[in-house]
A and B are shown apart, each in its own frame.
Chain A
């Protein structure tokens, strides 16, 4: 029982990180109906850049902040190069392929200049040996930190979107970009902002997950991007609550499958869930079927 609970708790924690990744994907989906298939590489860049900066003697707080800023800045490039030129074709194939290419490029770049071997990610706040006692269960402090930070970030984002002028602008653009432009909303700036925020969230998620896994390599992040997408569609693309529920459900399912069947099965289960959710209910549990006008 204790084992099950520990697994479930670990699942909730990693699930919250998936939700955070899902939120990064949702942000650009709201403003442009696109999402970055290379998002995984931004997670990787966030983590690798942190290691590199720490190695160069930059203090931890500054290193993490710079790495996150780098991920956000790269997303501006992605929007400019891999998404905007391909939007006018009206076909999603172009930007799916080009953002995937963007991610591969970053992956190749890091592999070329930092090596394709896994590098150790240092403990920033807690070590993997720190445990906290929660209701009689030994809980890893790192996992707990991930959960707290993810939920806090998501709540902050939700409040920002609902209350601030920028948040309202994002929602207006998401509803109808043309009408938003007519209403005087600087659509271009809102779009770019959403991409920066999406990249920064990916950077944060990358640093947090790397903290748990302890190592990063160029392929780090790819599976996480897919898992984040599963979380996003599970609750309906674009829904924050849905992403949180979806991410946690996915994390728990993955950890339980990994703990009771085989750790190797964890990923396969997650991908199977992805295919099942898409096949059975593409609009997600909380989403409403999009009306297509004929």
Chain B
């Protein structure tokens, strides 16, 4: 199959050899070829920049040319006016791009979808207007000539004149390093967090990934790449004019990444090469450039949803190729079951204390004076008719909603109104009624997301594959293997979640919860859609959690399932607690019977084994 034959293209050794070959070949080919190759490298950086932000972190940008302009004019002016040496001016261009991205992220992080598209479009247009009108600095429409450049023989690095081939070598080396850093980064917890934000910000928050902070990282990283590309571009062409940074440049960046394959590492490289060569080789392409770009953008999402890379190259991995660490210190985080601690009933102080919680939506009382407690190692069943406030309660505890009144205290600490990702970092991990996984990730990659709150490495260590970061990753991989086995998914660990049946997806989510090493787990209807066998596995997992002294809140309609597991049941109706106690008492409670059946009835309340689902 073609894909297997082309797998070599994304092999590290092949890429290394290719880079060396290109570097050597540049000495022997014509000047115009070196020029085209140089443009390919710049376009690789540009395409990767948009890929990091749009393809990986899911934040669309239609104004990326703005960052390119900042880097280009920044580097050109610093060198031309202040006489900064090339390495410093390139670093400065990268940092200026990064700073611009960081600033933009504060505004852009507040909007999503097409609002974000419009905002970034506005950013691009403002950048263009500034470049065009700030004549004193940028030269305005007349442009900025005389930028030190190898073609003009005016580019000196520490006294050595840099020719076109030398400049190409410099760009090749830097681009190779950048790609290496990028690969390390996207296979690290930070890179995976980008994808988690892309798919669902709420789900990302529930495993301790901050949405604003992660988006800020994505914008900063993406804009830094664009700034660097701008710096390279300025010196390659030696002349800057505003028209190089108009909308069409942003569109071109998008076209390269989309056609190459968003969300992959190899795709943007393919796209960059393709769209540097096409206009050079085909007169037709140059004549009809706008129409061709328009058609590509219009049709590629339908015809080529995963780009060329998705068509011909192996899937991009989001985990480093490492052997899981199986030594003793691998289990320092407690995935190994400690000696079973019997649940101590009265002596233990509650882990969670919810008092007088109230919240309304548009005047509708969703929770009203809800008070409950939960001890470590206890399982609490949360029962009630549809719309009774069960999910709302879980949403308040996990920090998604801020209550109007009342307090949530966890381990003696007031966490009322704390952001969801902070709640998750304290060890309160939840699931949703529908599994919220990254569909394009494998089971293992999804499960590993759960460990996000446990990672201690920083972004820099992740990007350079620092030994301690790799050790940590190996430990996490070992932990992931263990919980995957516990969830019965070992055979599917490398399957893509999108292709798995619903039950397996739910079990994947459960494994993700386990890997997070939680103190308390909130499960929203975990039995829905599970087979008989999976139900048994779920019950085993819950008992395992109980043995480890982890508290569990279980929203369930499946009464038979609850009966054998829970220590206590709380029944909600119209946002109020109408019953608290054991299961047997629940069936006798007049209020519960009324809530479920309405008015006087002789039948037992929540019918065992069946139940609807909340909307």
Partner of A268, one of B133, B254, B361: B133
Q: Identify which of residues 296-347 in chain B touch chain A, using a CB-to-CB cut-off of 8 Å.
A: 296-299, 301-302
Q: Is the CB of B110 within 8 A of A104?
A: no
Q: How far is the CB of B143 from chain A (nearest CB, A)?
A: 16
**Which of A1-9, A81-89, A140-148 binds B?**
A81-89
Q: Identify which of residues 86-101 in chain A touch chain B, using a CB-to-CB cut-off of 8 Å.
A: 86, 89, 92-94, 96-101
Interface residue B496 (Cβ < 8 Å from any Cβ of A): no
Partner of B119, one of A104, A112, A278: A278
Q: Identify which of residues 247-294 in chain A touch chain B, using a CB-to-CB cut-off of 8 Å.
A: 262, 264-265, 267-268, 271-272, 274-276, 278-279, 282, 291, 294
Q: Is the CB of B129 within 8 A of A92?
A: no
Partner of A96, one of B117, B247, B296, B361: B117
Q: How far is the CB of B187 from chain A (nearest CB, A)?
A: 24
Chain A: CB-nearest residue to B394: A294
Interface residue A108 (Cβ < 8 Å from any Cβ of B): yes
Size of the chain B interface, CB-CB below 8 angstroms: 51
Residues of B within 8 A of A37 (CB): 114, 117
Bound complex: CA A271 to CA B296 (Å): 27
Q: How far is the CB of A284 from chain B (nearest CB, A)?
A: 11
Bound complex: CA A105 to CA B299 (Å): 11
Q: Is the CB of A97 within 8 A of B297?
A: yes
Residues of B within 8 A of A114 (CB): none
Q: Is the CB of B107 within 8 A of A278?
A: yes
**Which of A56-64, A190-198, A221-229 binds B?**
A221-229
Q: How far is the CB of B226 from chain A (nearest CB, A)?
A: 18
Interface residue A119 (Cβ < 8 Å from any Cβ of B): no
Q: Identify which of residues 7-66 in chain B touch chain A, using a CB-to-CB cut-off of 8 Å.
A: 54, 58, 60, 62
Q: Is the CB of A111 within 8 A of B290?
A: yes
Size of the chain A interface, CB-CB below 8 angstroms: 47
Bound complex: CA A222 to CA B248 (Å): 12
Interface residue B587 (Cβ < 8 Å from any Cβ of A): no
Q: Is the CB of B301 within 8 A of A100?
A: no
Interface string of B167-207 (1 = CB under 8 A from A): 00000000000000000000000000000000000100000
Among B118, B251, B391, the one with the most A-chain Cβ atoms within 10 Å of its Cβ is: B118
Interface residue A69 (Cβ < 8 Å from any Cβ of B): no
Q: Identify which of residues 403-430 in chain B touch chain A, using a CB-to-CB cut-off of 8 Å.
A: none
Q: How far is the CB of B126 from chain A (nearest CB, A)?
A: 5
Interface residue B125 (Cβ < 8 Å from any Cβ of A): yes
Q: Is the CB of B122 within 8 A of A226?
A: yes
Interface residue B512 (Cβ < 8 Å from any Cβ of A): no
Interface residue B277 (Cβ < 8 Å from any Cβ of A): no
Q: Identify which of residues 263-295 in chain B touch chain A, using a CB-to-CB cut-off of 8 Å.
A: 287-295
Q: Is the CB of B115 within 8 A of A108?
A: no
Interface residue B216 (Cβ < 8 Å from any Cβ of A): no
Q: Is the CB of A279 within 8 A of B119?
A: yes
Interface residue A102 (Cβ < 8 Å from any Cβ of B): yes
Partner of B297, one of A34, A98, A264: A98
Partner of A275, one of B119, B129, B295: B119
Given contacts A100-B251, A267-B125, contact A108 B60 (CB under 8 A): no
Among A97, A106, A272, the one with the most B-chain Cβ atoms within 10 Å of its Cβ is: A97
Residues of A within 8 A of B401 (CB): 294
Chain A: CB-nearest residue to B202: A294
Bound complex: CA A105 to CA B297 (Å): 9
Q: Identify which of residues 55-89 in chain B touch chain A, using a CB-to-CB cut-off of 8 Å.
A: 58, 60, 62
Given contacts A267-B125, A268-B126, contact A108 B294 (CB under 8 A): yes
Q: How far is the CB of B398 from chain A (nearest CB, A)?
A: 9
Partner of B115, one of A101, A233, A267: A233
Residues of B within 8 A of A294 (CB): 202, 391, 395, 400-401, 432
Interface string of B597-615 (1 = CB under 8 A from A): 0000000000000000000
Interface string of A202-237 (1 = CB under 8 A from B): 000000000000000000001100100100010000
Q: Is the CB of B133 within 8 A of A262?
A: yes
Q: Is the CB of A106 within 8 A of B294?
A: yes
Interface residue B383 (Cβ < 8 Å from any Cβ of A): no
Interface residue A107 (Cβ < 8 Å from any Cβ of B): yes
Among B62, B117, B298, the one with the most A-chain Cβ atoms within 10 Å of its Cβ is: B298
Interface string of B143-175 (1 = CB under 8 A from A): 000000000000000000000000000000000
Given contacts A264-B132, A274-B118, A294-B400, contact A98 B298 (CB under 8 A): yes
Interface residue B113 (Cβ < 8 Å from any Cβ of A): yes
Q: Is the CB of A264 within 8 A of B291?
A: no
Interface residue B530 (Cβ < 8 Å from any Cβ of A): no
Q: How far is the CB of A44 from chain B (nearest CB, A)?
A: 13
Q: How far is the CB of A146 from chain B (nearest CB, A)?
A: 23
Q: Is the CB of A275 within 8 A of B294?
A: no
Given contacts A107-B290, A264-B132, contact A278 B254 (CB under 8 A): no
Q: How far is the CB of B109 from chain A (nearest CB, A)?
A: 9
Bound complex: CA A103 to CA B293 (Å): 10
Bound complex: CA A282 to CA B395 (Å): 24
Q: Is the CB of B114 within 8 A of A35?
A: yes
Interface residue A160 (Cβ < 8 Å from any Cβ of B): no
Interface string of B126-138 (1 = CB under 8 A from A): 1001101100000
Interface residue A109 (Cβ < 8 Å from any Cβ of B): yes
Given contacts A92-B113, A97-B258, A268-B126, contact A81 B119 (CB under 8 A): no
Residues of B within 8 A of A274 (CB): 118-119, 122
Residues of B within 8 A of A233 (CB): 115, 118
Q: Is the CB of A271 within 8 A of B126?
A: yes
Interface residue B441 (Cβ < 8 Å from any Cβ of A): no
Among A106, A107, A112, A279, the one with the most B-chain Cβ atoms within 10 Å of its Cβ is: A279
Bound complex: CA A101 to CA B247 (Å): 12
Partner of B111, one of A97, A98, A223, A279: A279
Bound complex: CA A154 to CA B170 (Å): 59
Residues of B within 8 A of A291 (CB): 361-362
Q: How far is the CB of B139 from chain A (nearest CB, A)?
A: 15
Q: Is the CB of A108 within 8 A of B254?
A: no
Among B251, B294, B391, the one with the most A-chain Cβ atoms within 10 Å of its Cβ is: B294
Q: How far is the CB of B254 from chain A (nearest CB, A)?
A: 7
Among B111, B117, B132, the one with the most A-chain Cβ atoms within 10 Å of its Cβ is: B117
Residues of A within 8 A of B202 (CB): 294
Bound complex: CA A233 to CA B116 (Å): 12
Partner of B298, one of A93, A101, A267, A271: A101
Q: How far is the CB of B566 from chain A (nearest CB, A)?
A: 24
Q: Give 7 closest A-B pairs by Cβ, nearest first.
A: A101-B297, A108-B290, A105-B294, A104-B294, A108-B291, A101-B298, A279-B107
A-B contact list, 9 entries, CB within 8 Å: A92-B114, A96-B114, A98-B297, A101-B295, A108-B292, A112-B291, A267-B125, A268-B126, A279-B119
Residues on B lying within 8 angstroms of A by beta carbon are 54, 58, 60, 62, 106-108, 110-111, 113-115, 117-119, 121-123, 125-126, 129-130, 132-133, 202, 247, 251, 254, 258, 287-299, 301-302, 361-362, 391, 395, 400-401, 432
Known: A81-B299, A271-B122. 18 other contacts (CB 8 A): A37-B114, A82-B298, A89-B301, A93-B113, A96-B60, A97-B301, A98-B302, A99-B298, A105-B291, A222-B247, A233-B118, A265-B133, A267-B129, A268-B125, A271-B123, A275-B119, A279-B108, A294-B395
